[in-house]
Amino acid sequence: MPSARRTLAFLLFGVLAALAAPPAGAQEPPTIFLYVNDLASPRALLSDEYLAIEDLCYQVDQLSSVEIAILVVNTSQPWGMEALAFETFEANAIGKAGKDNGLLILVSTNESAWRIEVGYGLEGILPDSRVADFARENLEPSLASGDYGIGLYDLTLAMGQYIVYNYEESTPTDPALVVFDWKGIAIGVAVALFLGVITKGRIFFWVGNVFKRGGFGGGRSGGGGASGRL
C-alpha cells in the first residue's frame, strides 16, 4: 500500500507538470512582466541599470497610464525582430485595456538590432518616423559601444518624457508591480491536501511562489513602430 500511494503521488505530480508545460509545436513568444525583462545570457544590464530603467517605466505608468516594456534577448530567432516584437506585444497584452497604450522596446545583443513596437492608442503621438528618431538619437550610439543599460535608459527617459507631456488621455494610475499568484496557490493547496491524505502527513514539498511580478493591462499593438540594426 505505501508503494501504491507513492506511485499515485508521482502520477499526480506528472499530470500537474504536464498541464503546466507549454504545448509542443511552434515556439511561443516569451512571457514578460512589468517592466524590464533582461533575458540575455549573460545579462546585458547591471542591477543598478535595471532598477533605474524600471523606475522610469513605473513613473511613466503612474503619470500617464502608458506601459513601457523593455525586452533584451540574445537573438530574435527564429522569429526575426519585427515578428518577435509584435507577437510578444500581443501575447503579453502590453498597455491598458481599452486604451492600447503600450510600448515595447526590444533589443537583440547578438544581432545588434532593435525594434520598438507601438500600441494602437499611441500611434497618434508616436508615428514611425518619430520613433525611429528617438532610437537613433538615444539608443544606437550606446548600442554601438555595447552600453545597453545607458542606451535603454536614455531612450526610455526621452520617450517617457515625451509621452507624459503629449499623451492626451493621461490618467494617473497605481501600477500593481506584485500580485498574488492565485492559480499557483490553488494548485498548491489542492496538491498539499491530496498528498497529506495519502501519506498521512509524512510528505511535504514546495509548490511555487505565492507572489509573482505584475503583468500588463490588456492592450494590443497597432503594428506601428520602427526597427534598426547597427
Neighbours of 47 (CB within 10 A): 9
pLDDT (tens digit per residue) in 13-62? 454 444 444 444 568 999 999 999 999 999 999 999 999 999 999 999 99
The rounded mean pLDDT for the chain is 82
The domain limits of the chain are: 36-173, 176-215
Report the 10 Å Cβ neighbour count for 164: 15
Q: What is the 3-state secondary structure (H, E, C) of 3-38?
A: HHHHHHHHHHHHHHHHHHCCCCCCCCCCCCCCCEEE
pTM: 0.76
DSSP percent split of the chain into helix, strand, coil, nearest 5: 45, 20, 35
Look at residue 22 in the predicted model and tell me its pLDDT: 47
Q: Please work out, in degrees rounded to the nearest 5, the angle formed at the alpha carbon of residue 52 by the alpha carbons of 50 and 58.
A: 100
Per-residue pLDDT, 211: 53
Q: Following DSSP, what letter does each residue of 118-161 receive, concatenated?
A: EEGGGTTT--HHHHHHHHHHHTHHHHHTT-HHHHHHHHHHHHHH
Residue pair 222/120 in contact (Cβ under 8 Å)? The answer is: yes
Q: Which residues of the chain have pLDDT under 70?
A: 1-26, 169-174, 176-212
CATH topology of domain 36-173: Diaminopimelate Epimerase; Chain A, domain 1 (3.10.310)
Burial 188-216 (b: 16+ CB within 10 A, else e): beebeeebeebeeeeeeeeeeeeeeeebb
Q: Looking at the DSSP assignment, which residues form a beta bridge with residue 36? A: 70
Cell numbers standing for residue 54? 524600471
Amino acid present at 56: L
Helix and strand counts by DSSP (H, E) for the chain: 7, 7
Is the Cβ–Cβ distance between 86 and 223 less than 8 Å?
Answer: yes
